[in-house]
Amino acid sequence: LWDSTTIPILWILDGLDEIVDHAVRQRIAGWITQALHDRENDRFLVTCRFAGYNRAGISLGPGFREFHVQALNETDQQRFIYDWFTLVYERLGKNSQAADKAGRLLQKLNSSEYQTRKMRELTGNPMLLTVLCLVFHDNEDLPKQRSEVYAHCVKVLLEHWRKELYAAGAGSVPRQPLDAEAVEEVLQQLAWWLHSEDQRTSASLDQLAAQTEQVLGGLQPGVRQNLTSLQFLDRVREETGILAGEANGELSFLHLTFQEYLASKFAIANGQGEQLAVSASAAASDWWKETALLSLRSTRPFCGSFFRSLLQQAGLEQRPDLLEQCLNEAKFVDAEPFVEIVQQALQQPQRAATVLTMLQNRGRQLPALADAAAELLEAGLHGVQPATVARQLRQAACELLLRADRKLPAMARGNDLATSYDERLQISFVQIPAGAFQMGRKGRTAGDFLEHPVRIT
């Protein structure tokens, strides 16, 4: 074909960035540019990650028009997944399993836990969707928690993404793969530093190299392979796919999700639970919220320090959504930090009311909290002002006890809740006032779960 100059040919050259050695990549880019000039009847299509193309000496010049891959829509994702399993399982000799495997992955991605905005953004990225296909192929499932999904994605990108290139001896000089643990530690440092400034998602190579050196300085020369921080960072960018180049020459994470996840890992590894709670509650935006939520899938001591700090932050009453989301996300929720707030109800009644309202379904799980609510009611709320806050606090404590199947103290019965207690059944009954409310689940299209109005007269 190359010797033919009379028949127009479309040459598709896939993965310019897959050439690991910079010098070799530069020579190939020069060859392509020259071929475009010499073969004026032909057309050349070159694919490359932006980070691997937008480099000094690597540009293919003005003869090429640049196009950027857009996020995959739902139809694109479905076709991508079926095509991926068809091609891969054909090579594995498992053709008959491809459609079933693709269908099960799609079913998984359509389940409620994968319909969050963050997960939908991941599946719209072709490279990250490929990683999810690999994870599902290897494990026959996807984790339910997004922190575990992100962990699998990072592991694939750090340990397996470019592995075959080194096995094949790609480049003019054979390379030893970077230590995956060292790379992840560097990425955690970069993510935490980037996230420390509101809305910052990119920085110059020199700025990130300075942060990289903070980690490399504590490593053995063999682990860092005697590389400078700039060289190490450049290798990370080339070999993992997690860092990407921006049009202004700065570097960023391939997706904000990776920055948030790796920042949460830094917080866990460095005991930053208290500081993370301060940042999450103080931010005017939700910049720190996802990082905080991801970090709460860690250890009991970390969760405890986070909640104790969060409950002390000013303005928490204006952010009940933050507390509720943290409670729902946390792997461990111990009663002690919340009991302390309830015991300080006379000094901080609004804070105690907010906490009791947010935890009103957790009285059974946290019996010590139910005990504290009962003691609060027994002691009385005399002196709590204003009266509206006292009423809110009393109602929150009563509701927590009722939902925990606890008997209300005698002085708390009646009041604002119109309750009655059946001594024989040992159940408290609450009168529901007349009115209308919505019952069912949003998003349902049929069946008993469809959201619909209900009226009590």
pLDDT for the residue numbered 259: 95
pLDDT for the residue numbered 435: 84
Please state the φ and ψ torsions of residue 378, each to the nearest 5 degrees: -65, -35
pLDDT for the residue numbered 59: 76
pLDDT tens per residue across all 457 residues of the chain: 777 777 899 999 988 876 767 778 888 888 999 998 888 889 999 988 765 666 555 778 888 888 888 889 999 999 999 999 999 999 999 999 999 999 999 999 998 878 887 788 888 888 889 989 988 998 888 888 889 989 988 988 888 766 655 555 545 455 688 899 999 999 999 999 999 999 899 999 999 999 999 999 988 888 888 899 999 998 888 788 788 876 677 889 988 899 999 999 999 999 999 999 999 988 667 899 999 999 999 999 999 999 999 999 888 878 888 888 999 999 999 999 999 999 999 899 999 999 999 898 899 999 999 999 999 998 888 888 888 999 899 889 988 998 898 888 765 555 555 455 555 666 666 667 788 888 876 655 555 567 788 888 7
Q: How far is CA 35 from the centre of its chain?
A: 44
Q: Following CA atoms 363, 367, 371, 376 in sequence, which dihedral angle do they give, to the nearest 10 degrees? A: -30
